[in-house]
Amino acid sequence: MNPDLDRLQPYPFERLRRLLAGNAPPPGLTPINLSIGEPKHPTPRLILEALTAAAPSLSNYPATQGTDALREAIAAWLVRRYALPAVDPATQVLPVAGSREALFAFAQAVVDRSRPARVVMPNPFYQIYEGAALLAGAEPLLLPCTPENGFRMDFERLDAAAWASVQLVYVCTPGNPHGRVMPLAEWRELFALADRYGFVIASDECYSEIYFDEAAPPLGGLQAAAALGRQGFERLVVFGSLSKRSNAPGLRSGFVAGDPSILRRFLLYRTYHGAALGPPVQAASVAAWRDEAHVVDNRRLYAAKFRQATPIVQRALRTAMPEAAFYLWARTPIDDTEYARRLHAACAVTVLPGSFLSRSRDGFDPGAGFVRIALVAAEAEVIEAAQRIAEFGRSL
């Protein structure tokens, strides 16, 4: 077997299951799970209807490149969402079976194993970046994101010798777990580095549509490239998804968009990888990307939960309203794994220890001492969980 498989770490939810395995459920309390980033609002009817109406198309093999209709719907959405001059659906967009598989597959297609290969990523992070780098034969290079540095990736921490071997940089904006949005000045810095050292930027933007001010949607990578006058999204590929935007994580539908010369090679890789979207999934995705009303409604639900739950959680834990995404990233008064274990044992509320999302480097673990609280459950449940967290805080 591929020996690099042994370098993969257990997934955070596997570690959480083990951590909580010995806990007996406290009597009389309904369990509330705020650990996993799985949207829980219902999938909009228009998506379900488009999916079922297209069921007869299961008799056809789908093309990896997707239908023209789907690529056109995604390109049109990108143009509307980011006020871009144009996105070419033939060369600058590809559908993917959710952003997760694409984030993984991308490293396999991009990394050149014949020379030293490093892949830069944030820490804490979405663990797929690390596994993707390891299985592509590259060394992950982690940049700590902490409250002290405003959760930014301090690109200046790496010297010229390190950058010279960097082939790929993952950024996550809005960020999981802290919700930070990368500002234009940082994009300028990252593009300049990419041009100097020749690496590719993979921008994970699967939380782009979960934000709290309708007048201020998060900046996206394509938008930043256009604003900085870059031609053809050079060296940049962004990853989008319907999972959070449209409450359809089971649909497995997303896209990659950006530099056509990279996407052309990625499509070649994908035809072998075999990750084409089923025809009914493509039809449902067209319906989803064309509609914005359900996305606005979805944001309203999250905004109401954050408005109510954040001040209650703040009675017990140091945290702040995120810029975007659906997580509270909160400091724990004790060790984060111990906090999560005891909270679960006493209050039947499950949250994710921050150190399950991070790696220790040079004796410092930027996820340690935090928990991630996903405000995904229904409003009443989220508020009930926040109250239990506040009460638990008094017992510590």
Ligand X SMILES: Cc1ncc(COP(=O)(O)O)c(C=O)c1O
Per CB under 6 A, 35 contacts ligand X: no
* Closest-CA residue to 373 (of 385, 358, 355): 385
One residue of 243, 285, 314, 355 binding ligand X per CB under 6 A: 243
Task: Please say which residue, 40 or 342, places its beta carbon nearer to ligand X.
Answer: 40
Per CB under 6 A, 247 contacts ligand X: no
Per CB under 6 A, 246 contacts ligand X: no
- Strands (DSSP E) along the chain, which ranges? 32-33, 93-96, 118-123, 139-144, 166-172, 200-204, 236-241, 254-258, 327-331, 349-350, 352-353, 370-374
Question: Judging by beta carbons within 10 Å of its beta carbon (0-12, 13-18, 19+), is residue 306 exposed, middle or buried?
Answer: buried
* Closest-CA residue to 171 (of 136, 123, 132, 242): 123
Question: Which residues 6+ apart lie within 8 Å of 154 measured at CB?
Answer: 143, 144
Cα–Cα distance, 158 to 287 (Å, whole number): 44
One residue of 123, 176, 298, 332 binding ligand X per CB under 6 A: 176
- Strands (DSSP E) along 97-165, which ranges? 118-123, 139-144
Q: Residue 179 Cβ, how far from ligand X at the closest point, in Å?
A: 11
Task: Please say which residue, 247 or 337, places its beta carbon nearer to ligand X.
Answer: 247
Per CB under 6 A, 206 contacts ligand X: yes
Task: Please say which residue, 62 or 177, places its beta carbon nearer to ligand X.
Answer: 177
Q: Is the peptide bond before 174 cis (omega within 30 degrees of 0)?
A: yes
Q: Residue 194 Cβ, how far from ligand X at the closest point, in Å?
A: 21
In the 3-class helix/strand/coil scheme, how is 42-82 assigned residue by residue? CCCHHHHHHHHHCHHHHHCCCCCCCCHHHHHHHHHHHHHHH
Q: Residue 28 Cβ, how far from ligand X at the closest point, in Å?
A: 32
Per CB under 6 A, 100 contacts ligand X: yes
State which of positions 249-278 bind ligand X (CB under 6 A).
249, 254
State which of positions 80-99 bind ligand X (CB under 6 A).
98-99
Build a one-symbol-per-residue string for 282-301: x at contacts with ligand X by CB under 6 A, - elsewhere.
Answer: --------------------
Size, binding site for ligand X by CB under 6 A: 13
Asked whether 41 and 273 are in contact (CB, 8 A), the reply is: no
Per CB under 6 A, 172 contacts ligand X: yes
Q: Residue 173 Cβ, how far from ligand X at the closest point, in Å?
A: 10
Q: Residue 352 Cβ, how far from ligand X at the closest point, in Å?
A: 11
Per CB under 6 A, 37 contacts ligand X: yes
Give me the residues paired with residue 342 across strands: none
Residue in the block written with tokens 């319907």: 242
Q: Residue 361 Cβ, how far from ligand X at the closest point, in Å?
A: 20
Residue in the block written with tokens 């239908």: 67
B/e letters for 358-373, b = 16+ CB within 10 Å, e = fewer, are: bbeeeeebbbbbbbbb
- Angle among Cα 241, 243, 246 to the nearest 5 degrees reads 100
Per CB under 6 A, 173 contacts ligand X: no
One residue of 35, 241, 298, 337 binding ligand X per CB under 6 A: 241
Q: Residue 82 Cβ, how far from ligand X at the closest point, in Å?
A: 18
Task: Please say which residue, 201 or 316, places its beta carbon nearer to ligand X.
Answer: 201
Per CB under 6 A, 132 contacts ligand X: no
One residue of 204, 209, 381, 384 binding ligand X per CB under 6 A: 204
Residues that bind ligand X (CB under 6 A): 37, 98-100, 126, 172, 176, 204, 206, 241, 243, 249, 254
